[in-house]
Structure 1
C-alpha cells in the first residue's frame, strides 16, 4: 500500500472552508478511484494559520496515477482549495506502508 502525504496552510478564517471542501469534494473524487484505500486529514494550529496534512492511501502507484496523473509528485488542488488556503506544498511525497496496525 502507498501513502501519499501533502500539506497545506489556511488562515484561521478559512480553515473550516478547506476542511468542508476536503470532506465533500475531495472525498467524493477519491472514492471514484479504483485502488483508493482511505484518507486522513490532520489539522493543527500553526501560529496564525491552520496546518492541514492529508494522507491518502492507495493500493499501488497505478492507483495513485489514476488520481494524480502522470506526474505523481505534483499536488492536486481544486479551485476551492486554492481559495481557502494561503499556501501549500506543490509536491507531495509517497511512502510504502511498512506496517499497518
Structure 2
C-alpha cells in the first residue's frame, strides 16, 4: 500500500472552507479511483495559520497515477482549494506502508 502525503496552509477564517472542500470534492474524486484505500485530513494550528496534512492511501503507484496523472509527485489542487489556502506543497511524497495497524 502507498501513502500519499501533502500539506497546505490556510487562514483560520478559511480553514473550515477547506475542510468542507476536502470532505466533499476531494473525497468524491478519490472514491472514484479503483485502488483507493482511504484518506485522512489532519489539522494543526501553526502560528497565524492552520496546517492541513492529507494522507491518502492507494494499493499501488498505478492507482496513484489514476488520481494524480503522469507525474504522481505533482500536487492535485482544484481552484476551489487554491482560493481557501494561503500556500501549499507543490510536490507530494509517497511512502510504502510497511506496518498497518487496524483499529479492531
TM bucket (normalised to shorter chain) is over 0.9
Aligned to 1:29: 29
> Separation in 2 of the partners of 1:35 and 1:65?
11
Q: Does 1:40 align with 2:40?
A: yes
User: TM-score, normalising length from structure 1?
Assistant: 0.99
Secondary structure (helix, strand or coil) at the match of 2:74 reads coil
Structure 1 position 90 matched with structure 2 position 52: no
Q: Deviations over 1:59-89 (max 9, x none)?
A: 0000000000000100000011000000000
Aligned-pair Cα RMSD in Å: 0.3
Structural mapping, 1:3-82, within 5 Å: 3-82=3-82
Structure 1: tracts of 5 or more residues without a match: none
How far residue 29 of structure 1 moved from its aligned partner, in angstroms, is: 0.3
Listed as ranges, the gaps of 5+ residues in structure 2 are none
For 1:79 and 1:92, the matched residues in 2 are separated by 18
Q: Provide the rounded CA distance (Å) in 1 between the counterparts of 2:34 and 2:79.
A: 24
Shift of 1:91: 0.1
Alpha-carbon shift at residue 44 of structure 1 (Å):
0.5
Q: 1:26 offset after TM fit, Å?
A: 0.2
